């Protein structure tokens, strides 16, 4: 068999690595010789745009989805990787609130289907994430893999994966134990992708890859460069013609595509021309490489600041960094290479494909995981660090305010353990709750809540100040464990915060039916589709969201009742908001009906802009109405008024509120 051919005759699937990117994704496998190979998609391209479009028949992913965005932007979604892990950041797609895990799962499913045409059935994969992703985002990435029918063997940091691919090309993964060890090499991986930025310093000592420090920005990438160029093109159009092409959804979508192509062209040429079309007007705008560089200068400087910070965090000087490895499509911008050359005093290493290196490294890592327990060579040793500090929430002895007590600081080599002794806040305390958070701030509200460790059933009569020992562990595979112990009464408990703790999300078949218009949305169904029916009590955000839903239901039930004077003002505000919503809904439907009756042309373009504005006003009115119901529900619960049929809701509200109050 030719090494480049897929292993069709294999009984087992080959090792698979997936680079799930913000703007582009790809899948790679190891051929029988152990060489990573990128699988082309059904269009013959190595890169698949991380874009999803829902037509009336099926889900479209990739290049065709990008093209379809110019036809119906309300059925289109992109850049959702930036929202991973947030329980509130759902995308409104065709009247449904869709979690980012679901949208990412459709991309993974497309990659899987394309790969199976060449490789046969596949299930086990390694998926990459930015090194700066926190625990919640990593868990959400695993959820997306599960929804796509994949078994995620592990999550690997993107810069680490790129370094593994680099190590293979240098022959480091095949070094025999008797070989003379080479001098350790310190490599800075500068990973500037479509939507996220990471910079990581690794020490490569033979087949040992040890991360020294990592940092980054999950909201900085090529998409932000595109936005600057879109704003520039739109400003030129407005100056010449007095109308903004971004006011029309279809024209705005086309402008984004054209801006991205212009950015790519300016990585190769000194200038290019973009044709902008809006309101029947076609305008040519010339853009030079120097203009683009001036637009994005502050963004590139942000990456420079982060890179310098990571070098200091690793305890190094720039002279001690042996190599700078460029990864990510946006690293092709000439300004980036010049900045790094000036900063480091050496030419960046472009030997790796900036698009493929991460997926190739993930496939190599998948091969190592699948070879464990066999006679195969282990490949290499990976030693990572935690990208965010891990701590517990305690009460400051002097101020009485809650504070994040950091136990395992950021950039600590893994595995790691740390212990701390706390004391009970009051006498006769019957339970102790230790909140686990991730983040650098000493303010718990600025950190990510990971879970809680609760010691229950303490004997009565414990004095205030009873010591509690808390031990915090962070395993090499990223698994976090917390244990709390009260030595004086021999009470202890333990909780594992796992990345594979999946949220209760519906399967892709159900979502496909919804988003392709085969199931009509309702407020209740749309809300239920977004999250679990049972509340995760260890997640304060989940509890608060459930409380808001319950209060809203109580407020809605009280709308038509004769309420006590204490509640009348809140009811009147809710009635006013409801009337505004009804008017906005009627205005939207009227504009939509008018638009359907008008053929393509200047009048249709004007009506499309009006329809977009009416839709925005409708969403705002809906939010104001729901908030008014929420406020009225809170007032009802606070005053003890129980609208008929809401006994169960009020009982659950009391239970959840007691949980929050401790």
Please tell me whether residues 130 and 237 are part of one structural domain: no
Find, among 169, 176, 136, the residue nearest to 155 by Cα.
Answer: 136
Please tell me whether residues 133 and 73 are part of one structural domain: yes
State the pLDDT confidence band at 4, using cuts at 50, 70 and 90.
very low
Please tell me whether residues 174 and 227 are part of one structural domain: no
Domain that holds residue 432: 390-497
CATH label of the domain that carries residue 428: 2.60.34.10
DSSP for 233-288, written as a single string: HHHHHHHHHS--GGGSHHHHHHHHHHHHHHHHHTTTSSEEEEEEEETTEEEEEEEE
Question: Residue 510: its pLDDT value, please?
Answer: 81
Q: Output the pTM of the full model.
A: 0.71
Please give the residue that has the higher pLDDT: either 529 or 468: 468
Question: Residue 449: its pLDDT value, please?
Answer: 79
pLDDT, averaged across the chain = 83
State the pLDDT confidence band at 623, using cuts at 50, 70 and 90.
confident
Burial letters 372-408, b for 16+ CB under 10 A, else e: eeeeeeebbebbbbbbbbbbbbbeeeeeeeebbbbbb
| Structure confidence by residue, pLDDT tens digits, 32-45 | 988 999 999 988 99
Find, among 121, 114, 109, the residue nearest to 7 by Cα.
Answer: 121
| Structure confidence by residue, pLDDT tens digits, 579-617 | 888 888 878 777 776 766 666 566 666 776 677 777 778
For residue 242, tell me if it sits in a domain: yes
| Structure confidence by residue, pLDDT tens digits, 341-385 | 999 999 999 888 999 999 999 999 999 888 865 545 556 788 888
Please tell me whether residues 545 and 564 are part of one structural domain: yes
For residue 567, tell me if it sits in a domain: yes
Question: Quick check: 653 pLDDT over 80?
Answer: yes
Please tell me whether residues 557 and 623 are part of one structural domain: yes
Please tell me whether residues 374 and 404 are part of one structural domain: no
State the pLDDT confidence band at 11, using cuts at 50, 70 and 90.
low
Question: How far, CA to CA in Å, does 141 sit from each of 92, 116, 152, 502, 594?
Answer: 20, 21, 9, 10, 42
CA distance 484 to 31: 48
Please tell me whether residues 34 and 90 are part of one structural domain: yes
Question: Quick check: 9 pLDDT over 50?
Answer: no
Please tell me whether residues 375 and 441 are part of one structural domain: no
Total of domains in the chain: 4
CATH label of the domain that carries residue 248: 3.90.640.10
Please tell me whether residues 26 and 157 are part of one structural domain: yes
For residue 144, tell me if it sits in a domain: yes
Domain boundary among 293, 319, 339: 293
Counting beta carbons within 10 angstroms of the beta carbon of residue 522, is it exposed (0 to 12), middle (13 to 18) or buried (19 or more)?
A: exposed
For residue 319, tell me if it sits in a domain: no
Domain boundary among 274, 293, 312: 293
State the pLDDT confidence band at 150, using cuts at 50, 70 and 90.
very high
For residue 550, tell me if it sits in a domain: yes
Please tell me whether residues 538 and 626 are part of one structural domain: yes
Domain boundary among 497, 522, 542: 497
Question: Residue 433: its pLDDT value, please?
Answer: 76
For residue 303, tell me if it sits in a domain: no
Please tell me whether residues 359 and 409 are part of one structural domain: no
CATH label of the domain that carries residue 162: 3.30.420.40
Please tell me whether residues 362 and 407 are part of one structural domain: no
Counting beta carbons within 10 angstroms of the beta carbon of residue 645, is it exposed (0 to 12), middle (13 to 18) or buried (19 or more)?
A: exposed
Q: For residues 398-417, give the mean pLDDT.
A: 86
For residue 451, tell me if it sits in a domain: yes
Question: Residue 637: its pLDDT value, please?
Answer: 85
CB atoms within 10 A of CB 107: 27
């Amino acid at each position: 068999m030719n090494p480049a051919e897929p292993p069709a005759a294999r009984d087992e699937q080959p090792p698979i690595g997936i680079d799930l990117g913000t703007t582009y994704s790809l899948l790679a496998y190891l051929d029988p010789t152990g060489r990573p190979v990128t699988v082309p998609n059904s269009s013959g391209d190595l890169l698949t745009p991380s874009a999803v479009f829902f037509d009336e028949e099926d889900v479209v992913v990739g290049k065709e989805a990008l093209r379809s965005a110019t036809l119906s932007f309300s059925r289109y979604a992109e850049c959702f990787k930036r929202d991973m892990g947030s329980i509130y950041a759902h995308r409104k797609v065709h009247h449904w609130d869709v979690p980012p895990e679901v949208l990412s799962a459709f991309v993974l499913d497309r990659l899987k289907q394309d790969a199976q045409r060449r490789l046969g059935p596949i299930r086990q994969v390694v998926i990459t994430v930015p090194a700066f992703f926190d625990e919640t985002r990593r868990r959400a990435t695993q959820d997306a893999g599960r929804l796509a029918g994949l078994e995620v063997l592990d999550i690997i940091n993107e810069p680490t994966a790129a370094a593994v691919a680099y190590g293979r090309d240098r022959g480091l993964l095949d070094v025999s134990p008797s070989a003379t060890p080479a001098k350790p090499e310190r490599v800075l991986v500068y990973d500037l992708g479509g939507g996220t930025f990471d910079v990581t310093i690794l020490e490569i000592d033979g087949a040992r890859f040890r991360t020294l420090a990592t940092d980054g920005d999950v909201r900085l990438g090529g998409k932000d460069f595109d936005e600057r160029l879109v704003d520039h093109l739109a400003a030129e159009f407005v100056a010449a013609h007095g109308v903004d092409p971004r006011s029309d959804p279809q024209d705005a979508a086309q402008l984004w595509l054209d801006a991205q192509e212009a950015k790519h062209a300016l990585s190769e040429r000194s200038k290019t021309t973009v044709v902008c079309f809006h309101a029947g007007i076609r305008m040519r705008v010339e853009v030079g490489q120097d203009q683009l560089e001036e637009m994005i200068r502050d963004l590139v400087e942000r990456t420079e600041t982060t890179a310098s910070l990571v070098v200091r965090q690793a305890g190094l000087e720039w002279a001690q960094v042996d190599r700078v490895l460029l990864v990510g499509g946006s690293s092709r911008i000439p300004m980036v290479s010049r900045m790094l050359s000036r900063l480091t005093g050496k030419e960046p290493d472009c030997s790796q494909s900036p698009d493929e290196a991460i997926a190739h490294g993930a496939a190599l890592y998948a091969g190592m995981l699948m070879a464990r327990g066999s006679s195969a060579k282990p490949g290499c040793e990976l030693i990572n660090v935690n990208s965010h500090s891990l701590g517990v929430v305690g009460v400051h002895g002097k101020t009485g305010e809650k504070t994040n007590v950091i136990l395992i600081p950021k950039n600590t080599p893994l595995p790691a353990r740390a212990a701390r002794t706390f004391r009970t806040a009051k006498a006769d305390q019957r339970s102790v709750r230790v909140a686990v958070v991730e983040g650098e701030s000493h303010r718990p509200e600025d950190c990510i809540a990971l879970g809680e460790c609760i010691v229950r059933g303490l004997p009565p009569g414990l004095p205030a100040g009873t010591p509690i020992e808390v031990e915090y562990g962070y395993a090499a595979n990223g698994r976090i464990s917390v244990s709390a112990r009260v030595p004086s009464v021999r009470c202890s408990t333990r909780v594992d915060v796992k990345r594979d703790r999946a949220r209760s999300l519906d399967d892709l078949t159900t979502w496909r039916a919804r988003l392709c218009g085969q199931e009509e949305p309702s407020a209740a169904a749309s809300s239920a589709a977004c999250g679990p029916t049972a509340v995760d009590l260890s997640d304060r955000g989940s509890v608060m969201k459930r409380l808001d839903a319950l209060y809203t239901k109580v407020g809605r039930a009280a709308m038509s009742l004769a309420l006590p004077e204490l509640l009348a003002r809140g009811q009147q505000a809710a009635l006013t908001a409801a009337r505004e919503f009804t008017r906005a809904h009627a205005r939207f439907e009227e504009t939509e009906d008018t638009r359907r009756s008008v053929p393509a042309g200047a009048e249709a373009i004007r009506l499309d802009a009006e329809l977009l504005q009416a839709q925005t006003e409708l969403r705002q009115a809906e939010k104001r109405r729901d908030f008014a119901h929420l406020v009225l529900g809170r007032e009802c619960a606070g005053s003890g008024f129980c609208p008929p049929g809401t006994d169960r809701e009020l009982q659950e509200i009391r239970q959840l509120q007691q949980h929050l109050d401790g």
